Amino acid sequence: MKPPKQRSACALSSSLDILGDKWTLLILRDILFIGKSSYGEFAQSEEKMATNVLADRLALLECQGIVTKTVAADKKSKFTYRLTEKGLDLAPLMGELILWGHQHCANVDDTALMLELRQDQAGTIRKYQELARAAAR
Amino acid sequence: MKPPKQRSACALSSSLDILGDKWTLLILRDILFIGKSSYGEFAQSEEKMATNVLADRLALLECQGIVTKTVAADKKSKFTYRLTEKGLDLAPLMGELILWGHQHCANVDDTALMLELRQDQAGTIRKYQELARAAAR
DNA sequence: TATATTTGCTTGCGATTTGCAAGTGCAAAG
DNA sequence: CTTTGCACTTGCAAATCGCAAGCAAATATA
């Protein structure tokens, strides 16, 4: 898997080269906030992403060093995807996406996470980063 | 212009329904951090987006209430695009994208904005929001 | 007043990417 | 030793994209 090409030396543009699509950040959301870790779990999420796109994005995330892929502890035929530190550093970004969506998009469900984020954004982000780190051990 | 369909009631997913592509946030970057305001200026930016995509994204941003489109003060054949409050609320998100890109992507230029963001993230975001509000008046 | 240029799109077209459905290979369970 | 579950892969039609050119209205220049 080859990395997507960089369109410019702009930091924002470079981030979008990797994250700028409708699916990638949903996978990371599933890992960070929902605690998912396998292909099958990602495939079942509410937004129903096509499996070829899922496989493509997982490969891309792995080659970018945002997630790691290891054989699952319980089954040899299963893989476990975890966030690296580079991936965990996307937590604040995801927090902002959640808050903006909640404030400005119609028909968005209220969740416990939302309430938590609004009351203590930085603390909530740290908490989920720590949970993900703990799961990786 | 019809809004893109919502894939689920998740806030993060709903934000991505609108912002999840490689171009939309670049336009908003140009307006907020670089001070651009017209079609021609957007078309000339470093990443060279195709003009049909530019026109499409501007229409989408306008119909979503993220930017306003008005006739330019100096020329009747020109339009001025400005951020609404909904658009200004994306400033923290853009800040996070810039910081992550700078930390984790190779070949990204250092800029004055980056230094500013790293020294006082919240203050810098407020400053650019205020600048954009001032330009709108 | 006639011509050229600027500005903001629109159109056509081949190439890429997507969504959907079905199929494949492998490991473990029965 | 057949069946089930998991992790993908493949085929194909439809949508989207990049690229180049074209177009119409407003302004600048001669």
With CA of A71 and C1' of each nucleotide, the nearest comes out as D7
Q: What is the pLDDT along chain B (137 residues), one digit of tens a residue?
A: 788 999 999 999 999 999 999 999 999 999 999 999 999 999 999 999 999 999 999 999 999 999 999 999 888 889 999 999 999 999 999 999 999 999 999 999 999 999 999 999 999 999 999 999 999 88
Architecture of the domain delimited by A11-135? Orthogonal Bundle (1.10)
d(CA B4, CA B77): 29
Chain C bases near protein CB atoms (7 A cut-off): 6-12, 18-22, 25-28
pLDDT of residue B73: 87
pLDDT of residue B75: 86
Locate the chain A residue with the closest alpha carbon to B22.
Answer: A20
For the B11-136 domain, the top CATH level (class) is: mainly alpha
Secondary structure class of A63 (helix, strand, coil)? helix
CA B125 remoteness from chain centre: 13
Chain D bases near protein CB atoms (7 A cut-off): 5-11, 17-22, 25-28
With contact defined as beta carbons under 8 Å apart, do A15 and B105 qualify? Answer: yes
d(CA B61, CA B39): 13
CA A24 remoteness from chain centre: 7
With contact defined as beta carbons under 8 Å apart, do A17 and A4 qualify? Answer: yes
Q: Would the CB atoms of A97 and B11 count as touching at under 8 Å?
A: yes
Q: State the helix-helix crossing angle for B91-104 and B121-136, rounded to 10 degrees.
A: 130
Count Cβ atoms within 10 A of the Cβ of residue A132 and give its class: 0-12 exposed, 13-18 middle, 19 or more buried. Answer: buried
pLDDT of residue A89: 98
Count Cβ atoms within 10 A of the Cβ of residue A79 and give its class: 0-12 exposed, 13-18 middle, 19 or more buried. Answer: middle
> How far apart, in Å, do the first and last CA atoms of chain B sit?
27
pLDDT of residue A77: 83
pLDDT of residue A112: 97
pLDDT of residue B77: 87
Q: Would the CB atoms of A89 and B103 count as touching at under 8 Å?
A: yes
Tens digit of pLDDT for each residue in A120-133? 999 999 999 999 99
With CA of B48 and C1' of each nucleotide, the nearest comes out as D18
Mean pLDDT by 10 residues, chain A (137 residues): 90 97 97 96 94 96 96 87 97 98 96 97 98 92
pLDDT of residue A120: 98
